[in-house]
Every structure is written in C-alpha cells, then in structure tokens.
Amino acid sequence: MPVFLYTGQNAATGKKVKATVEADSLKDAKLKLRRQNILVIDIKTQASGSTSTSGNQGFLERLTEKKVTPEDLALATKQFAILTKAAVDVSEALRSISEQVENPKLRVVYSKLRESVSEGRSLSDAHKEFPDIFPGVYVNMIAAAEKAGALPIVLRRLAEFTAWQIGIKRKVVGALITPAIMVVVAIGVTLFLFVNVLPKITKAFSSLKVTLPWYSVMLNNISAWLQDRWWMVVLAMIAAVVGFLRWKATPKGRRQFDIFTYNMPIFGPLVQRVAVSRFSKTLSTVLSSGVRIVEGLQLTRNVVDNAVLEDAIDESIKRVQDGEKLAAAIEKTNRFPVMVVHMLRTGEKTGKLEDMLVNIAEAYDDEVDYKIEATTKLINPLMTIMIAGIVMLMVMSVLGPMMQAMNSLK
C-alpha cells in the first residue's frame, strides 16, 4: 500500500502535524486525514518525494531514524492507561498519544493504530501489525483486556510491567559495566607496558651486558613480537568478539551460553535470580489480566530470555495440560528454587496465585539488588589483583636483571 507524507493542521487543537499515512490512493489518504480532523496543507507520495528528496536521503533518514525504546513504549502505555481510565474514547486516546509522544516513529505507529481502530479493527489486531514495537505478551494482554472489558486496568499493568523490565535490564547492565571496564583497562595497561615500557628497559640492560633470567627473556620475546604485531592482537580480539556474538545469536550457541551462565560460580546466582524474577512478574501480570494459565506460561516463556528456564517452562506446560498443578509441574523440572515452589503451592491452595507470584518477584528483585552489590564487591578486588599481578610480573622482570647488574659492579 502506498505511503503518503503529509503536512497538516489538527482542526481541534490547531497544532501542526507532519507524519505519514497509508492509503490506496491520494484521494483515500486525504479522506482518512479528514476523518481524523486534520486539515491537509501538503501531501505527496513518500516514494517520489519532492525535488530535494532523493533515494540517498531516504536511506540516510532510515539510517538515522530514532528507534522506539522500551522507555518510549512505557511512557506511551502509561498515557494510554490514564486516558482510558478517564473514559476517553479509544480512538481519541490514540490520537492524543500520537500528538504527544516525542519519538517520531512511535508517533506514526499510534497514528496508524488509530486509523485501524477507526476502520473497525480491534485494538489487539491493530497492535499485531507492529511486532517490532509491541511484543507478543503486550498484544495478548490487550486482547484479554478487550474480552474482559478491563482495558484501563490492563494498560496500567502493562505500563508498570514495561517499566519493571527496564529496571531489571538496567540493574544487570550496571552490574556488568564495571567488570567490562576493568578488563579493557587491564588489557590496555598490559599492551602499553609490553609495547612501550619493557623494550626501553631491555635495551638499557643489554648495554650493560647483563644475563637476563628466563622470565625476563620470555617477557622480552613477547614484547618484541607485540611491537611489530600489536595490531594482530587487536584484530584477533575484535574477531573473537564478533565471532562470539554471531555464535551466541544461533539457537545452539544461545542455549549453551545460557546454560553456562546459569551455572557459573560468580554470575550464576545473579542470572538465576533475574530469570526467576522475570518469570514470576510476567506470569503474574498476564494471569491478572485474564489470560489462562497455559497461555500465560507460553507468553512467559517468550519473555524470560533464558534457555534453561524456557526448557523448564516447556516441561511445565505439558504437565499442566495433563492436569497437574503449576507448583507440582515446576517442582519436577528441578530448575526453580525450593522457595518458589513452596510459595506457588501456597498461592494455589489459598486461591491467590497472582498475588503470590508478585511476592516472589518482589523477593527476587531484592535478591537481585543484593547479588549485584555482592558480585560487584567480589569482582572489583579480583580484577585489581589481576592488574596488580601483571604489573608485579613486569616489575620482577626488571628487578631481576637490576640485581644482577648491581652484583656484577661489586
């Protein structure tokens, strides 16, 4: 379907609008805009553009296009929830959001959502047209809300859930930044010492005709090799990172990496707590929105982002479909902590499974904060010791020949 780029003015607010609209023809595009109370000032087919618009410019625009971030989606969802709670019509709420959001791409998306809803499509079906913006759990929760007639409540939960996901991601990234920086610093310091410092010291000892110990000779050989081939080390590191990322992007590589990180000594407990917290919060959100338990588990499986728990959820889904309770099904996977199983069993007995899942998520959120702090406190000394060891090795390679030189002068 052709896309038309238009400039217009909102008849109700007087605000100038510049966006795109899809239509079969120019006449249909103008009709759509008229239905949206937009007075068209200028409109043209986006593919052809004006004399100043070229294919290269279109490519550059796509290249520099601002992506829709989770923060943008969380804010738009919160605005949507507030408007629907105030009994604003869905179509009018979408129009209001399309005029308020700052992200240009999201502004166009909400404008198209309004067009779809105005044409008679359901809100969830309209959201399905943009899978790169709205994840499956988002669309399915809106579909459940439409069936239950609880759109304002579900939108509020979606806004809270999206904000919670952002918080979890920031916590994990924050925990990894310090070790990553220290690793880069350690590599940089090592290369600098080997390429710039050690050769000068070696040259000084050579002039004194001092016999170097074996470890100094080894370091000197490494230094001599790095002086001419340091760029090979840099290229090898870049190739290793690119190769790792490509391997991790494959299903087999992702699974192996997730299994490794889930069971590794230092980061493993942190990864486990983040995954369990994400599982509990997601399942609680979808169940409280009216989604059935099996469908809720299927949606949760696509959100946990960990192959170990994904396999466990797949096993649990089969057992729940066979008639088992959720707690019993999860317990048999041997992938969830005992506390989670006990709390789920209590929630099922009392009929407050959603509330118990919220309690689990909150408890493990606190555990994530604690583990991040503890892991950071453990990693920082380890990295400091590693850098100190490198420096100490360099110092010993200098002190050894220096002591021999002093003894030869006596």
CATH number at residue 39: 3.10.20
Mean pLDDT lowest for which of 213-222, 290-299, 361-370? 213-222
Q: Is the pLDDT assigned to residue 73 strictly greater than 80?
A: yes
18 phi and psi angles, rounded to 5 deg: -135, 115
Whether 147 maps to a domain, the answer reads no
Predicted confidence band of residue 209 (pLDDT cuts 50, 70, 90) = low
369 against 338, higher pLDDT = 338
pLDDT (tens digit per residue) in 93-137: 898 888 888 888 888 889 889 888 888 888 988 898 888 888 877
Assessment of whether the complete model's pTM goes beyond 0.85 = no
Q: In 46-138, which ranges are E strands?
A: none
Which long-range contacts link 186-194 to residues 24+ away (Cβ below 8 Å)?
A: 186/383, 186/386, 186/387, 186/390, 187/237, 189/387, 189/390, 189/391, 190/390, 191/226, 191/230, 191/233, 193/390, 193/391, 193/394, 194/219, 194/222, 194/223, 194/226
How many Å apart are CA 212 and CA 400, to the nearest integer? 8
- The kind and range of the H/E element at 138 are helix 136-148
Q: Is the pLDDT assigned to residue 47 strictly greater than 50?
A: no
How many Å apart are CA 197 and CA 394, to the nearest integer? 9
**Last residue in a domain, options 65, 85, 119:** 65
Whether 107 maps to a domain, the answer reads no
Find the radius of gyration of the CA atoms of the chain: 30
Predicted confidence band of residue 400 (pLDDT cuts 50, 70, 90) = low
Q: Is the pLDDT assigned to residue 51 strictly greater than 60?
A: no
How many Å apart are CA 407 and CA 399, to the nearest integer? 12
**Last residue in a domain, options 65, 88, 111:** 65
Predicted confidence band of residue 370 (pLDDT cuts 50, 70, 90) = confident
Predicted confidence band of residue 206 (pLDDT cuts 50, 70, 90) = low
In this predicted structure, what is the pLDDT of residue 405?
A: 61
Among 225-239, 273-287, 331-345, 355-369, top mean pLDDT goes to 331-345
User: Are 192 and 339 members of one domain?
Assistant: yes
Q: What is the average pLDDT score of the chain?
A: 80
364 against 315, higher pLDDT = 315
Domain membership of residue 292 as a residue range: 168-410
CATH number at residue 269: 1.20.81.30
What is the domain count for the chain? 2
Predicted confidence band of residue 198 (pLDDT cuts 50, 70, 90) = confident
How many Å apart are CA 359 and CA 161, to the nearest integer? 15
Whether 365 maps to a domain, the answer reads yes
Predicted confidence band of residue 210 (pLDDT cuts 50, 70, 90) = low
Whether 115 maps to a domain, the answer reads no
In this predicted structure, what is the pLDDT of residue 86?
A: 87
Predicted confidence band of residue 50 (pLDDT cuts 50, 70, 90) = very low
Whether 156 maps to a domain, the answer reads no
**Last residue in a domain, options 41, 65, 89:** 65
Predicted confidence band of residue 157 (pLDDT cuts 50, 70, 90) = confident
In this predicted structure, what is the pLDDT of residue 318?
A: 93
Whether 309 maps to a domain, the answer reads yes
User: Are 266 and 398 members of one domain?
Assistant: yes
How many Å apart are CA 240 and CA 259, to the nearest integer? 20
* Contact criterion met (CB below 8 Å) for 141 and 291: yes
Whether 327 maps to a domain, the answer reads yes
Predicted confidence band of residue 320 (pLDDT cuts 50, 70, 90) = very high
pLDDT (tens digit per residue) in 245-298: 999 889 889 889 989 988 888 778 888 888 888 888 888 888 877 778 888 888
Whether 182 maps to a domain, the answer reads yes
